[in-house]
Amino acid sequence: MRVIKEEVLALKESSLYAERVKNNVFPVIGEGSHSAKIMFIGEAPGRNEAKTGRPFVGAAGKLLDEMLVSVGIDRKEVYITNIVKDRPPFNRDPLPEEITAYGPFLDRQIDIIQPEVIATLGRFSMDYIMRKFGLDDVLASISKMHGRAFEAKSSYGTVAIIPLYHPAVAIYNRDSKNILMEDFKILTQYK
């Protein structure tokens, strides 16, 4: 993981590198247990995450923490990261070329941690992970896929892919918090 961090720090080819330097912020590599059963993958860091270099520490992070508590999972026992390791300006969605640039780092993190479950947070991470694990044929909109488990083969064995809405959805639409809480219950099968 240290090597991955050093490589991301030196990734000058990424358009987001200049943003990082200009704003004097950090890339967000990930945090948590390197032997986690469950790995959460978001899309890209937000402002609070870039300031601290830690994933999911802002308002969406508080909701993620609340959902983890609701299903009896300790945040220290999981691994949390994003596909894109640097913050896109104005919290915009990650661009395809940014996902392409940072995706190989995520792939290596998955190979190191070897999670039994990959819970994607949001449509960009869902799309990337479903395609990575050869589940293109079942890929649909996140509104159709959220809260369900899909079995996939990895280099280290079987992995369950669980698409979830990004916790930020509940910040903008309070009604969706109940859906998120309900969807998180599927994770209790894998604790």
pLDDT, residue 76, reads 96
In the prediction, which pLDDT does 122 show?
96
Task: Output the CA torsion sign for 96, 101, 105, 111.
Answer: positive
- The predicted-structure confidence for 46-79, as pLDDT tens digits, reads as follows 999 999 999 999 999 999 999 999 999 999 999 9
Confidence of residue 191 (pLDDT cuts 50, 70, 90): confident
Domains and CATH numbers, the chain: 2-190 (3.40.470.10)
Residue 48 and residue 58: Cα distance in Å, rounded?
6
CA atoms in the 13 A half-sphere facing the CB of 95: 9
Non-local (6+) Cβ contacts of 142 within 8 A are: 122, 123, 126, 163, 165
> 143 or 172: whose pLDDT is higher?
143
Instruction: Please state, for a pLDDT cut of 70, what percent of the chain lies above it.
Output: 100
Average pLDDT value over all residues in the chain: 95
pLDDT of 173: 85
Listed in sequence order, the residues at least 6 apart from 20 whose beta carbon sits closer than 8 Å to its beta carbon are 26, 27, 50, 86, 87
Termini Cα distance of the chain: 24
pLDDT category of residue 91 using cuts at 50, 70 and 90: confident
Q: What is the amino acid identity at position 6?
A: E
Identity of the residue numbered 29: I
pLDDT at residue number 189? 93
